[in-house]
Amino acid sequence: MDSARATRRPSARLWLAGLWLALVFIAAIAAPLLAPQDPLAQDLLYERLPPFWMAGSESGYPLGTDSLGRDLLSRLIYGARIAVIVALVAAFAACLLGSALGLIAGYFGGWADRIISRLVDIWMAFPPVLFAILLVAVLGTGLHSVIIAIAVIDWTRFCRVVRAETMVQARMDYIENARIVGFGRWRIMLSEVLPNVLPPIIALLSLEMGIAVIVEAILSFVNLSISTDDPTWGGIIAEGRLSIHQAWWILVFPLITLFLTVLSFSQFGEGLKSRFDPVLR
């Protein structure tokens, strides 16, 4: 009972998560206006400057600089651009692909279901990070490759959930009624079943956006994402891991940013799910 109560009052979490995500989106859109410095400008006189509250900091570099003297805050703000693009495009692509296959498998059953379920089994037998690294290595580094890799790997999450939900819905009376009225199978699937499996899809979509941001950071970390000059959160983290004993702040700030973003996407998804769920509402 009390766990139901906890999910029934999601508004504080939903709003806090939404607030942080809004900040990230604004940073991405208005990066040139918000960033105090050019994120690519190197200044070897200013390398590894500490953040503003420590001795030796410089005004204009509030969070300090990395080992090439580039402003950390500016790089974090510009890094939000890649993160937001990957979160939106890759998660939507994975969602579309997975939900479509899940609907087909769940609604039509039979051979379609058998083939799609086997595909899911095969995909689940790959270690996902290794699969992503492999795909990006094959496709060549760049934003397109990262997005394609995430969509090609993570569609199974959507497929499994949508398939199971669709199978439940397809047995319900209203589907039978629609069939008696003479609706075609595709029409029933898209206009009757789909709206009813939407709530879990939306929650998963938000979760997937957080996962996509992490996967991009991991790919940047192993130096396989975007070009190494462009600021990405994972790239800054890789740099911070190397100079962790000289300048801990290079790792701390992108890490906090990623933590909050991933946590917000998952909390936002949970919050939306309980909003949409007719039983809980």
Residue ranges that bind other proteins, judged by CB under 8 A: 2-3, 6, 118-119, 121-122, 124-130, 133-135, 137-138, 140, 207, 210-211, 214, 217-218, 221-222, 224, 237, 241, 244-245, 248, 251-252, 255, 258-259, 262-263, 266-267, 270
- Among residues 125, 102, 83, which one has the least CA distance to residue 212? 83
Residue 182 CB, shortest distance to other proteins, in Å, is 39
How far is 252 from 222, CA to CA, in rounded Å? 18
Q: How far apart are CA 53 and CA 61, in angstroms?
A: 11
Residue type, 144: H
Cβ at position 165, least distance to other proteins in Å: 19
DSSP string, 208-269: HHHHHHHHHHHHHHTT-SS-TTS--HHHHHHHHHHTTTT-THHHHHHHHHHHHHHHHHHHHH
Nearer to other proteins by Cβ, of 193 and 219: the residue is 219
Q: How far is the CB of 144 from other proteins (least distance, A)?
A: 14
Beta-sheet strands, E only, within the chain? none
Minimum distance from residue 203 beta carbon to other proteins (Å): 12
Nearer Cβ to other proteins, position 30 or 122?
122
Residue 251 in tokens:
């790792």
Phi, psi of 76 (to 5 degrees): -65, -45
| Tokens encoding 265 | 């996407």
Nearest to other proteins of 31, 209 (CB atom): 209
Give least dist CB 33 to other proteins, A.
29
Please, what is the minimum distance in Å from the beta carbon of residue 207 to other proteins? 8
Q: What is the largest CA-CA distance in the chain?
A: 77
| Closest distance of CB 9 from other proteins, Å | 12
- The sign of the torsion formed by the CA atoms of 223, 226, 229, 234 equals negative
Residue tagged 């190494």 (tokens) = 228
